[in-house]
Amino acid sequence: MYQRISSISMAVTVLLLVHSWVSADVGRTRAEEIRRLSPEVVQKIVRYTVPLPKEIRIQGVFLAESADCHLLLPKSDHPIVEQIAKEFRDQFAEHFKTELKIIREVTPGFQAVLICGKGDPQGLLLSEEDLLSLRKLPVSRDGYLIRTVEHGAKPPNHFGVVLAGVEPAGLFYASKTFLQLIRGLVSSQEEKSALVLPVVEIFDWPDLQERGLWGAYALEELGWLGERKMNLVETHATRLTLGPDGRGVAELDPALVERARRQAIKLVPIITHLDQLRRTGIFEAYPHLLGKGDPKKWPSWVDGPVCWAEQDAQRVLSDWVLSLARTDYGDAVTVWLSEAAVQCGCDTCIKENQYIMETRAAVAAWNEAKKIKPSLELRILLTQGSYPVNDKILAEVPPDVRIIYYDGGRTYTSSHQPMIEPRLEDFVKRGGWLGVCPQLTASWRIVSPFSGAQFIHARLAEFITKHLQCLYGYATPSIRYWDFNVEAAAEWSWNVHGRSTHEFAVSWAVRQNIAQPELVGQWSEILGPVSWDIYACGIPYPWFFGSLTQQVQSRRIIRPGEGRLAEIASPEQLLHDLEQAKKALEIAEQIGHPKLLAESEVILAYMQVLSALPELSLLLQKAKGVEKLAEADREKLKELQNQLAIARNTLKDALWRWARHCDPQVERRPPPRFLDTVEVCENTVKSLVETVAAILQPAN
């Protein structure tokens, strides 16, 4: 029945229909007759979907015989059903200037039926047997189908559209895809109010079970995430403290939970890193729980280890988990292990590993909470501190405990290297449930443009190939700065074998209403790999945060393939990246979009700095051993100095222009990490210019 789409170029072949359709033909055509679409129109319509459905067949469109439209929805009090009704009403009012009437009926599974004109929508509902294919899917909860069906005993034929899932989320995603197709259809019409609906068959499901982000910033964009079929947000418990009686109290704002449920998003509360609990009041209520040891030897950002040998520590953690389990929304809780390997030095703790004790405490708290809510999920977040003993933690946890792999250096990275190591792969092969917490950005520490389709696709391809279950991404300080990459993560966490990196960029440009979307695809293919190389080398973080200045001023040699330039293998690759950045800027100028233009200027400026470093370091090394440099060397230093000065000025200007386009309010409330980015770029490149100037003084 369906054709599998492995890329949009294949999709055009699959969907090829011989007759073109334009709005001028509609008035001369009998109502309810299928109108055929050209491949170009089909391609444009499908580009409005995000993610691309796995299996889709568009036969054409039909012009509804009447603007009297009815939408049958399940008789359910689930907030998703009301959200679907709202979105259909709003879109039909906006595009077709018609009031959609809602009918509520009991349906097998969760189904919706849309009919415009005559017909009984209940008669088009699918049977339980029809839904078996959905129930057999790997992620049946989110799977859905859409089917345009004929009805009526005699001509003219009438059409209705059935949307179905076995759970509310599936119906929600069916509605999202259908309404995206409607937007694509409307964009292809000259007569915008014509009530034209697709004749379509779609069968779709995600590759990853959970697809989302962690962090409070994501709560501002729940609708945006739901539109792209992302279904997970984890955020710190809105209250994590101790009551007057010394019992632990944890809460998550029920209003946030309700907003998330309307978007089919699972909102999971976090119990924060177990070495960062001072603000909860735990050490004020129970001073003896502060681990034994010398605080001067603890990292400055650590509150101190908890002594898990004390029963009060276990009781407080259990109280927090129980508090969350008692709520209506308490379906899952995540416990973050300590970031720093700071061991309590008491006689009991010193005999055990800190992380094993933390893991056992979390599991014990979970077991206690399951007495009142047996279905409660426990997630444990690994850290850079736990890294040496991750294998022991994985061996310790029961089979139904979920593990999230986070590491401040190994998952918050833009390296080209694979992220999921053999110990984690073995855990999955044994049946373990594993998610991963990668940055979806240039760096967790800085805010700098990165439209990295190749970077995101490589990450998701690895996660899905290695059978992970969850994307737990990080995109601080706001999705606004990283909309391209986060949307790419939504795309490929759902359908990793769907769009190519080029086609994703083109479809993104179509959805953004950017002129010349094909040029945007070219731009992305050229600039994306260059940006990835830059950020993999640690520009601007961490290299601009002091170490590059020290390296240059101490006149150490900088070579491609070594040290910070390890991921740019050769001088030829460095030169190639510089030329590609110049070419991307030329394309951005043709496109004329200010955000893409500013991003291209930033990336070229970074490349001007990077490409100068090897030769600059050699000349500075040469100057160290002579009284005066040869004139040719001095001229080369002047050329490099000028190149760096231009890059410095460009960075300051283009970073701000890019940020203003991402967030028009950025100057009123600039994210601290963005200000840090601008400052370190300016100061670092300035120091390089000044270092060269000192060498060029007459005495040299």
| pTM, rounded to two decimals | 0.94
pLDDT one-digit tens code per residue, 461-519: 999 999 999 999 999 999 999 999 999 999 999 999 999 999 999 999 999 999 999 99
Both tokens of 244, joined, read: 């007057």
Residues 494 and 605 placed together within one structural domain of the fold: no
Mean pLDDT of the chain: 92
How many Cα atoms within 13 Å fall on the side-chain side of residue 577?
29
3-state SS of 351-365?
Answer: HCCHHHHHHHHHHHH
pLDDT digits (tens, 9 = 90+) for 556-590: 999 999 999 999 999 999 999 999 999 999 999 99
Query: Taking the CA atoms of the chain, what radius of gyration do you get in angstroms?
Result: 29
Q: Which residue has the higher pLDDT, 342 or 366?
A: 366
Domain with 609 in it: 524-695
pLDDT of 1 above 60: no
Residues 182 and 232 in one domain: no
Asked if pLDDT for residue 7 goes beyond 60, the answer is: no
Same domain for 68 and 189, yes or no, is yes
Q: In this structure, is residue 75 part of a structural domain?
A: yes
CB-based contact 66:117 (threshold 8 Å): yes
| Domain end marker among 204, 228, 256 | 204
Is the pLDDT at 19 greater than 70? The verdict is no
Tens-digit pLDDT profile for residues 83-102: 999 999 999 999 888 899 99
On whether both 461 and 332 belong to a single domain, the answer is: yes
Same domain, 309 and 337: yes
CA distance 523 to 604: 13
Determine the pLDDT at residue 35: 86
Are residues 227 and 160 part of one domain?
no
Based on the structure, what is the number of domains in the chain?
3
Look at residue 533 and tell me if it is in a domain: yes
What is the predicted pLDDT for the residue at 624? Answer: 84
For 178-193, what is each residue's pLDDT tens digit?
A: 999 999 999 987 666 6
Whether residue 516 lies inside any domain: the answer is: no
DSSP string, 605-651: HHHHHHHHHHHHHHHHHHHHT-SS--HHHHHHHHHHHHHHHHHHHHH
395-450: pLDDT as tens digits: 999 999 999 999 999 999 999 999 999 999 999 999 999 999 999 999 999 999 99
Task: Give the end of a domain, one of 474, 509, 544.
Answer: 509
Regarding whether 557 and 459 lie in a shared domain, the answer is no
**How would you class 515 by CB atoms within 10 Å of its CB: exposed for 0-12, middle for 13-18, buried for 19 or more?**
exposed
Whether 541 is covered by a domain: the verdict is: yes
Same domain, 307 and 439: yes
For residues 336-345, average pLDDT: 94
Evaluate whether residue 406 is within a structural domain.
yes
The answer to whether 466 and 515 are in contact (CB under 8 A) is no
Residue 2 included in any domain: no
| Residue 250 in domain | yes
Q: Do 346 and 198 have their domain in common? A: no
The answer to whether residues 261 and 370 belong to one domain is yes
Domain assignment present for residue 517? The answer is: no
Whether residue 266 sits in one domain with residue 215: yes
pLDDT at 74: 96
- Which of 452, 485, 509 delimits the end of a domain? 509
Q: For the chain, what is the total number of helices (H) and then of strands (E)?
A: 21, 18
Strands 402-405, 377-381: pairing is parallel
CATH code for position 283: 3.20.20.80
Coil vs helix vs strand at 82: helix
- In this structure, the answer to whether residues 557 and 668 fall within a common structural domain is yes
